[in-house]
Chains A and B, each alone.
Chain A
Amino acid sequence: MSDHPSSAPATLHVDEHTIHEMQHHIRRYLIVGVALAIGTALTVWASLINFGSREINIVVALIIASAKGFLVAGFFMHLISEKKMIYAVLAFTAFFFTGLLFLTLWSMAHGNIIQIHNG
């Protein structure tokens, strides 16, 4: 079974609808790009502010990074309008990644920590 006969050169179907859709996409990509650049500047700015404790700085930086990550994955990688099978693959990934984080936190909470050389 083949997608098309190998002897005949394939052509790309470009119609008015595709062009209109892509122009819409391009506007969106540019807006997301600017938002990511602003987010980067915001991350640096927030890191130089003393929120009272370093933990708050870490949380703020990770929230901004997560928002930027959502923009990249959602719009550049088209995850906001992807096929179900991709979501299924990513659901498994999210499950195992969460498990990995949980194991890390669990090991931290249950002692027997190795001595770490840091000097």
Chain B
Amino acid sequence: MEIPYAVKPRPDTGLYNAKVGIWLFLASEVMLFGALFCSYILMRVNAPEGTWPHHWLNIWLGMTNTIVLILSSVTVVLGWASLKMGKFGHYKFYQGITILCALIFLGIKSFEYHDKFIHYQINLKDGTIADGHLQSAETTKDLIVIEGRIITPDKMEELYNPSLDHEGKLLKIPIGDIKIDPRTKKPMMENYGPWHNTYTAIYFTMTGLHALHVIAGAIVIFAIWGPLAKVWEQDPERYVNRVEVSGLFWHFVDLVWIFLFPVLYLL
């Protein structure tokens, strides 16, 4: 016995099963991301005055990723509309662009993550802070080389709110000049990973979870586009439904990013 309304809509609701399923799933996703946005609000509002970071992320990379996701959302709906008109070739073209956009998005995000993992804050014994990107090729056991700037105690706000046009210099820091953490007995040198402070923690959590959604969505769209494309020949209506449902998920991923971008990059 086949499951009823797997393809044709149920007469009273006008919906097929998968469409109800995806909307219920998206409702739970709203609560998941909603909880994270609330965590962000709590952490930001309660951060000590002047310590919530601004301009720690590259606005232009974030904007590029936003445009890439918008473009992918457009190609998803164009692909679906093409299928509804029976133009399978057009659909293949548009969804191919969608998959490419997903890869570009993830590539840019990986670059941004890498940038944070090689970005170090080094507390020096004289009370200043060296802040910049590690030059691993020139760094030795006894000498840390970064491209960045020295922040003096009277200008500590520069650490949280760097000017957009500051230029980095090559700084060579002997390991002996680095302050020792009395708790861990290790040099006070830490990269901008999720452990650095509450901002990086919420940034990596929210964008990491979002990136997992991008990966999952791209895999599903690719599977329908490639290995499962034969369903179009056997049962085109079922195939169109699958494209529609995967598209709804993709638009939700785009929707979340529309809010993540200003919240994390701009404000």
Interface members, chain A 74-100 (any B CB < 8 Å):
76-77, 83-86, 89-90, 92-93, 96-97, 100
**Residue count of chain A within 8 Å CB distance of chain B:** 62
Interface string of A43-60 (1 = CB under 8 A from B): 110010000001001100
CB proximity of B157 to chain A, nearest CB, Å: 12
**Bound-complex Cα distance A26 to B94 (A):** 12
- Flag if A40 contacts B81 (CB, 8 Å): no
CB proximity of A83 to chain B, nearest CB, Å: 5
- Flag if B1 contacts A1 (CB, 8 Å): yes
- Flag if B197 contacts A19 (CB, 8 Å): no
Interface members, chain B 51-95 (any A CB < 8 Å):
51-52, 59, 63, 66-67, 70-71, 73-74, 76-78, 81-86
Closest to B234 in A: A9
Please pick, from B35, B71, B248, the residue contacting A100 in the complex, using a CB distance under 8 A.
B35
- Known A68-B258, A92-B27; contact A10-B238, beta-carbon cutoff 8 A: yes
CB proximity of A114 to chain B, nearest CB, Å: 7
B267 contacts the other chain (Cβ, under 8 Å)?
A: yes
**Bound-complex Cα distance A102 to B99 (A):** 38
**Bound-complex Cα distance A32 to B77 (A):** 11
- Flag if B77 contacts A65 (CB, 8 Å): no
Interface members, chain B 29-50 (any A CB < 8 Å):
30-31, 34-35, 38, 41-43, 45-48
- Flag if A72 contacts B73 (CB, 8 Å): yes
- Measured between beta carbons, the chain B residues less than 8 angstroms from A84 are 13
- Measured between beta carbons, the chain B residues less than 8 angstroms from A22 are 81-82, 84-85
**Residue count of chain B within 8 Å CB distance of chain A:** 69
- Flag if A72 contacts B267 (CB, 8 Å): no
CB proximity of B200 to chain A, nearest CB, Å: 10
**Bound-complex Cα distance A86 to B198 (A):** 37
Interface members, chain A 7-31 (any B CB < 8 Å):
9-12, 14, 18-19, 22-23, 25-26, 29-30
- Measured between beta carbons, the chain B residues less than 8 angstroms from A43 are 261-262, 266
- Measured between beta carbons, the chain B residues less than 8 angstroms from A11 are 236
- Measured between beta carbons, the chain A residues less than 8 angstroms from B46 are 108, 113-114, 116
Please pick, from A1, A83, A118, the residue contacting B52 in the complex, using a CB distance under 8 A.
A118
Closest to B64 in A: A40
B105 contacts the other chain (Cβ, under 8 Å)?
A: no
- Measured between beta carbons, the chain B residues less than 8 angstroms from A26 are 78, 81
- Flag if A40 contacts B70 (CB, 8 Å): yes
Please pick, from B23, B43, B71, B240, the residue contacting A86 in the complex, using a CB distance under 8 A.
B23
- Known A22-B85, A93-B27, A107-B42; contact A65-B2, beta-carbon cutoff 8 A: no
B111 contacts the other chain (Cβ, under 8 Å)?
A: no
A-B complex: 5 closest residue pairs judged by Cβ atoms: A47-B266, A12-B236, A2-B2, A33-B74, A61-B262
**B-side interface residues toward A, CB under 8 Å?**
1-2, 4-8, 13-15, 19-20, 23-24, 27, 30-31, 34-35, 38, 41-43, 45-48, 51-52, 59, 63, 66-67, 70-71, 73-74, 76-78, 81-86, 197-199, 233-238, 240, 247-248, 251-252, 254-255, 258-259, 261-263, 266-267
